[in-house]
Structure 1
Amino acid sequence: MRLSDIQGERVFDVIADIIDPIANIAEDDAASALFKREKLPEGMTAKEFMTQRARKALPALLKGHKGDIIAILASIEGVSAESYKGALNLVKLMRDATELLTDEAFSALFLSAQSGKSSGSAQENTEGKEE
């Protein structure tokens, strides 16, 4: 299932469930490098560039964020993390991850979480100082 397939009030629950795991991944520079938009270096094919990026980022993502990945995929599928782990195998992980990574709604949410680390306006103290 894709994030963009979720409808109705369930949208609120899923977004609430996946915000923390997405933020955990977005805050990890090594793991989130795979999702950052980067310009294709001159003299390198798109496949070479993606392979190079995957070699660096995937181990950090897969080893350092197993729980986050499971929480995201389980919430989108509408099952508990324990239930999702019980049904997990290589084929399921690859299928579910591919669906998620090619989902524009998820990409938009993840990219906003990445850019949200330093964006937003700071609250300004507008009260006058006591002198």
Structure 2
Amino acid sequence: MKLARSALPLLAALLASPAVAQTYTPRPVLAPNPFSPGSAVYSWHYICPTNNPDGTCRFSILAASYAGNNVADVQAVLAYQTVGLQQIPFYYFRITFMGNRKPDLLMIQANAAVSFAAHGMAQDTDTGPIAS
């Protein structure tokens, strides 16, 4: 079964609202891209613009029953991995909480659209398609 590559990023982008007033936040160090060329097709990057540990910045992934408060930074990547003869879409999430240097890492096999929500977070400028 082939999924339309353009539909999945669009759905997730619509569900995660980037319209948040931006204040100064130190820019986090992005993780290097561990994917083979051409396999990663879209990347999302969210940061907490306030850096207040009051629960303002939250991130949740409905398909994984995952939710977290006081989130400082989220990187999500949609990548296609070869399994046998098929290209299977996977979502990889790297979620860093305020005051914690070690991120949570999640991977979800996407048999359908995966929805996630970034509450109180701003979408960073490096969000978008990944060049091959």
| Higher helix proportion (structure 1 or 2) | 1
**TM bracket, shorter-chain basis:** under 0.3
| Higher strand proportion (structure 1 or 2) | 2
TM-score, L = length of structure 2: 0.27
